[in-house]
Amino acid sequence: MVGESVKLEVRFNVFSNVPKSKLPTTLTLDRQMPQFCETAEVLVIGGGVIGLTIARALALRGVRNVVLVERARLGAEASSAAAGMLAPQAEADDADSFFNLCCQSRDMYPTFAAALREETGIDAELDRTGTLYLAFTEHDLREIDHRYDWQGRLGLAVQKLNPTDARTLEPGISESVRGALKFPNDIQVENRRLLSALIAANEKQSVRLMTGTSVESIRCNRGRIEGAVTSRGLVSTDTIVVAGGAWSSFIKVTDTASPIPRIEPVKGQMVCFNSRPSIARHVIYTPRGYLVPRRDGRVLAGTTTEQAGFDKEVTASGVHSILSNALEISPRISDLPLVGVWSGLRPRAQDSLPVLGPGAEVRGLVFATGHYRNGILLAPITGELIAGAIVDNVVSTELNAFGPDRFAAVGVNP
């Protein structure tokens, strides 16, 4: 296989009557099957948004031999399934350290996306129109009051809108809307284009992207990393970043009592429409669902939150619940052609918070997993903090709050 040209295609359940050229529903990479690398200065496990962002950040900091190992195709899992919302103010219930991390990362996006565009020529379509949070029920009205109060007290950008103002801003939303908040700083990115940009940026930085290669175990001796045992042989290294998303805790670590915290898959299904002209300009969010309009006329509707193991089937009940929540937001959805459905597995730790940074037990083993609902949002800050921890040996206060040692009992493989 080495040296052969292979075409890797990631497909997202797209209906056959839609001209493929019109929709970025696939990530297609014509590339040489990568050479096997026997050594790495840093080895990153997982080619999703998190692994790719970290690998690029390491290379930009001067790490020469960064090797990223992806068992299948780059970006093909949760990172492609996501909606690309960068919306901590719409999603958070409280101002805690996680909320602060999310806001910091969101605010890094304009620079992050511009740098990627500069490096690769690929526009990740960062859209800064903002997010509308709609209320349809008494419960929703209490939610918007609560958010408006605590976020207003913190001086965050949030505007309260009456139903008329909300419908003036977005004429496509339902006449049943009872109130709304506008979060001008909660924005969105086209996550599949972001992945293409990250792949190209890594290639430009000479990061070695070993696709079709799985890390089976991490070899360590007396508390230090020696290398990774892959499906194609041993890669020697003293530093490994675990960025395997929902599969992270399958990776075994020899000579230690399994120090990988337990990460579980949480399925999210998505439905995609085509809308020209678009039925919305903002991301539109309710406590039950969301609509995300894309520049090319697609409108993504999400989602479900299911504990279904590693099953990724799109189900009738999943699509039914997404459609009913989308129709609540905008009855105009009923006239739109439905052009795609897909699902992905969010990686969730026991406390639903990301697992970031080095652990005390094994020197050289660094975690960047468990990003659950916010991996696209948290990619830029994760890249910076993890690269900083490895290159400058700095474990920031942000990392301390999300370190792997917070789990009292060390997780076991699922």
Half-sphere exposure at residue 119, Cβ-oriented, CA atoms within 13 angstroms: 23
Mark 245-284 with x for binding to ligand FAD (rule: CB under 6 A) and - for no binding: xxx---x----------------x-x--------------
Q: Does 306 bind ligand FAD (CB under 6 A)?
A: no
Question: Residue with the closest Cβ to ligand GLY?
Answer: 373
Minimum separation from the CB atom of position 158 to ligand FAD (A): 19
77 contacts which partner out of ligand FAD, ligand GLY, none, CB within 5 to 8 A by kind?
ligand FAD
> Considering only CA atoms, which of 129, 195, 123 is closest in space to residue 344?
195
Per the rule left: phi > 0, alpha: psi between -120 and 50, beta: everything else, 205 is: alpha
8 or 160: CB nearest ligand FAD = 8
Query: How many residues appear in the chain?
Result: 414
Site for ligand GLY, rule CB under 6 A? 83, 85, 268, 302-303, 346, 373
Binder to ligand FAD among 72, 141, 154, 360 (CB under 6 A)? 72
Residues in CB range of 375: below 8 A, 6 or more apart:
48, 49, 50, 78, 79, 82, 245, 346, 347
Q: Does 70 bind ligand FAD (CB under 6 A)?
A: yes
Place of tokens 């913190």: 154
Q: Does 50 bind ligand FAD (CB under 6 A)?
A: yes
67 or 341: CB nearest ligand GLY = 341
Give the CA radius of gyration of the chain.
21
Minimum separation from the CB atom of position 91 to ligand GLY (A): 6
Distance CA 132, CA 95 (A): 19
Q: Does 77 bind ligand FAD (CB under 6 A)?
A: yes
With contacts defined by CB under 6 A, name the span among 9-17, 45-53, 308-316, 388-396 that binds ligand FAD.
45-53
- Quickly list DSSP for 368-409: EE--GGGHHHHHHHHHHHHHHHHHS----HHHHHT-GGG-SS
> Considering only CA atoms, which of 133, 140, 141, 188 is closest in space to residue 166?
133
Distance CA 397, CA 395 (A): 7
131 contacts which partner out of ligand FAD, ligand GLY, none, CB within 5 to 8 A by kind?
none
**Run of H or E residues at 85:** strand 85-86
Distance CA 379, CA 86 (A): 10
29 or 251: CB nearest ligand FAD = 251
Extract the runs of DSSP E, i.e. beta strands, from 231-350.
Answer: 233-236, 240-242, 252-253, 263-274, 283-285, 290-293, 298-302, 338-349
40 contacts which partner out of ligand GLY, ligand FAD, none, CB within 5 to 8 A by kind?
none
55 contacts which partner out of ligand GLY, ligand FAD, none, CB within 5 to 8 A by kind?
none
179 or 381: CB nearest ligand FAD = 381
Binder to ligand FAD among 353, 373, 381, 398 (CB under 6 A)? 373
Size of the site for ligand FAD (CB under 6 A): 43
Q: Indicate the residue type of 178.
A: R
Q: Does 293 bind ligand FAD (CB under 6 A)?
A: no
33 or 308: CB nearest ligand GLY = 308
Alpha-carbon distance values, 27 to 9, 18, 344 (Å): 6, 17, 15
User: Residue numbers of the site for ligand FAD (CB under 6 A)?
Assistant: 45-51, 69-72, 76-79, 81-85, 214-215, 243-247, 251, 268, 270, 302-303, 344, 346-347, 369, 371-377
